[in-house]
Amino acid sequence: MSKTGKSRAREKVDLLIFNTEELITLAGDNQKPRVGKQMRELGIIRNGGLAIKEGKIVAVGKTPDITKTYKAENMISANGKIVLPGFVDPHTHLVFAGSREDEFQMRVEGVYYMVILSSGGGILKTVRETRKASFEKLVDLSLKRLDVMLEHGTTTAEAKSGYGLTTRDELKILEVMKRLDQLHAVDIVPTFLGAHAIPPEFQNNPADYVKLVIEDMIPKTAEKGLAKYCDVFCERGVFNLEQTRRILVAGKNYGLKPKVHADEMSQLGSAELAAEIGAASAEHLLFSSDEGVKAMAKRGVIAVLLPVAAFSLMGGRYADARKMIDFGVPIALGTDFNPSCWVENQQLVIAFACHFMRLTPAEAITAVTINAAHAVDRANEIGSLEIGKKADVIVLDVPNHKFLGYRFGVNLVDKVVKNGRLVVDREKQSETVFLREPD
Ligand code: FE
């Protein structure tokens, strides 16, 4: 109300979202990823609302305040539902050709993954198929996967190369990512992972492959501006600590921030290495030592944990997330979407993080939003619902946030708003698909 008692004209915006059971803002000091007890602070506004203009959030508050101040032609009432920042998936291997369902059966029957890999299967099978695939084919396959991610609430995804393993094919995959970022609503954060496996043609001289990665792939990737990060699969039989260090330092010298596939299947000390070189994140961490985890905490290295990937290994082992939280390591969660762990859905990741790693729903939500945004260095524009940030917003059809992890196996997404635009509306979809005239 103005001083004269007349109501002031309401400001016109593009979209209003209001009447939420819970508006989960994650608002706060977002200069650094959340650690310890901060991971439980979701900044919930009951009966909250958002005003959105030109793709950005312009107001956050209680519904009556928002609707009193703003008007819009497009309005979403989230009655009975909750509203969150779009999920950020900080670890995917999005671009590949082919599939590995036959190996899945072998793994079910007890064959260990590293045995499959050493006999030319696993990553190497996908490498053969991806090398053969054209640019257009890879774009096409990946767009469909991004559709599924978006339908499940992911609005930004990191994507790693690593199924090319020649300079030409690695650059092709990174170019595909650039094209996907232009074509699809989901934003892509590209990571160069030329050191994903030793390709067959270098099986007898892996040192030469490391040289190729350092002297040819990294400079060309950086020169073309195709990646933000450089990652290495540091594992027994793949790249050892010394090779990993050299590759990550070379990447760093070309402006590619380091990430590491660390301690996934054995303890090599890669968590310690991630801390030593100041990596942005260390990922997997099933076998990390206490010293490694403490070093990560000290250096502020984010732990990107991938519980569905651990599940798919069928080893019954998960990263010790509770210990990491106690030590003060910031945790983010990702799918590890890849041809041996075919999952696009961050809601399932939340469920597994709660069940197998004992994260609370609130901690898991922090790990797929603001902390995941930090893991891809975009926390200044996404990961929370705050004025000035991108309007990447999801509406979930549950009455409160504790349903995340608790109700699983179905898609809880009702709507997805990307850059202020409604891109998924499952409420409408289900009306058209399922409602029939009575007989
Ligand atoms: Fe991975």
Rounded CA-CA distance 84/383 in Å is 9
Distance 36 CA to ligand 1 centre (A): 25
Question: Which of helix, strand or coil describes residue 300?
Answer: coil
Distance 37 CA to ligand 1 centre (A): 28
- Return the biggest CA–CA distance within the chain: 84
- Predicted confidence band at 71 (pLDDT cuts at 50, 70, 90)? very high
Q: Where in the chain is the domain with CATH 2.30.40.10?
A: 11-85+383-431
Q: Region 358-371: what's the mean pLDDT?
A: 98
Which superfamily is assigned to 88-375 in CATH? Answer: Metal-dependent hydrolases (3.20.20.140)
Rg (CA), the chain: 22
Is the pLDDT at 168 greater than 70? The verdict is yes
Is the pLDDT at 2 greater than 50? The verdict is no
Distance 127 CA to ligand 1 centre (A): 14
Rounded CA-CA distance 100/209 in Å is 25
Q: Region 175-190: what's the mean pLDDT?
A: 98
Is the pLDDT at 296 greater than 70? The verdict is yes
Angle, CA of 48, 65 and 414, to the nearest 5°: 30
Rounded CA-CA distance 76/47 in Å is 13
Residues 298-338: tens digit of each pLDDT:
999 999 999 999 999 898 999 999 999 999 999 999 999 99
What value does the mean pLDDT of the chain take? 95
Rounded CA-CA distance 263/318 in Å is 11
Distance 80 CA to ligand 1 centre (A): 36
Model pTM score? 0.95
To the nearest whole percent, how much of the chain has pLDDT over 90?
89
Per-residue DSSP letter, 39: G
Distance 45 CA to ligand 1 centre (A): 35
- Predicted confidence band at 120 (pLDDT cuts at 50, 70, 90)? confident
pLDDT of residue 1: 42
**Cβ–Cβ under 8 Å, residues 385 and 378:** no
Contacts of 196 (CB under 8 A, 6+ apart): 123, 160, 161, 162, 163, 165, 233
Second CATH level (architecture) for the domain 11-85+383-431: Roll (2.30)
- Predicted confidence band at 439 (pLDDT cuts at 50, 70, 90)? low
- Predicted confidence band at 3 (pLDDT cuts at 50, 70, 90)? very low
- 11: its two tokens: 């400001």
Distance 336 CA to ligand 1 centre (A): 5
Distance 438 CA to ligand 1 centre (A): 49
Among all chains, which residue has been given the structure tokens 């291997």? 93
Distance 351 CA to ligand 1 centre (A): 19
pLDDT of residue 432: 57
pLDDT of residue 265: 87
- Predicted confidence band at 141 (pLDDT cuts at 50, 70, 90)? very high
Residues 375-408: tens digit of each pLDDT:
999 999 999 999 999 999 999 999 999 999 999 9
- Predicted confidence band at 5 (pLDDT cuts at 50, 70, 90)? very low
Protein residues within 5 Å, CB atom, of ion ligand 1? 336
Distance 398 CA to ligand 1 centre (A): 30
The full DSSP string for 17-37 is EE--SEEE---S-TTS---GG
